[in-house]
Amino acid sequence: MVKRVKSEGEAWDILHRHCWLVGTEIAVSLDSESRVDVTGSVTFRKKGQKEFPLWFGKVTGSFIAGGLALGKLDGAPYWVGTDFSVQNNRLTSTFGGPEHVGRHYKLIGNNLQNLDGLAAYIGDSVSFDYHKNLPLLRTLVAKRIWPNPDQPALEKILVKYAGKGRREMFWCQKELEDAGFGENARW
């Protein structure tokens, strides 16, 4: 169970046991809901970790939680200033992830079944493992969309609509369906 801390000291203690904190002026504080805000970047170092050790709020730098054993994103920050990377985990959904990612949202190495909860704002790119049943229209909030492995016909359509979100979702949906990507043409 993800822990809600009661003090900044408790937050520091947990962070030092599980993470590296990077930045020129690292600061930790608690918001009004006892979520941990971090000025700087957070990188997890304990492999095999199945959940975050505490509830995060806002992280001004990057939030790197790759190669753990995460099955869900409960406790992830709601706002990340640069990169949010949860590559090589056991995620099947992005539910519980951040609402805002300033630069890159990295999901490669997970068995995603849906993108429910994908950030409403992604400043640059989203990367993920492609499969024919994964709904992809939510990725249109990103300026660049990188399925892995490359899917040239799919990418050509997604690139055309990248960054346009719901505004042109229906046009993208139609093109995906016409090109044989009907299962991907879902929100």
pLDDT per residue as tens, the chain (187 positions) = 798 999 999 999 999 999 999 988 899 999 999 999 999 999 999 889 999 999 999 999 999 999 999 999 999 999 999 999 999 999 999 999 999 999 999 999 999 999 999 999 999 999 999 999 999 999 999 999 999 998 999 999 999 999 998 889 999 999 999 999 999 999 9
In a domain, 3, yes or no: no
Residue 155, pLDDT score: 94
Are the beta carbons of 40 and 62 closer than 8 angstroms? no
Q: How many domains does the chain have?
A: 1
Q: How many CB atoms lie within 10 A of CB 24?
A: 6
In a domain, 112, yes or no: yes
Q: Residues with Cβ < 8 Å from 134, sequence gap 6 or more? A: 112, 113, 114, 115, 128, 183, 184
What's 69's domain CATH number? 3.80.10
Residue 23, pLDDT score: 86
Gap between the Cα atoms of 76 and 32, Å rounded: 16
In a domain, 2, yes or no: no
Q: Are strands 125-129 and 144-148 parallel, antiparallel or unpaired?
A: parallel
Residue 150, pLDDT score: 84
Any idea what DSSP says for residue 171?
Answer: H
Instruction: Give the residue numbers spanning the domain of 22.
Output: 8-184
Q: ω before 135 within 30° of 0 (cis)?
A: no
Residue 1, pLDDT score: 79
In a domain, 1, yes or no: no
In a domain, 64, yes or no: yes
Question: 76 φ, ψ to 5°?
Answer: -65, 155
In a domain, 58, yes or no: yes
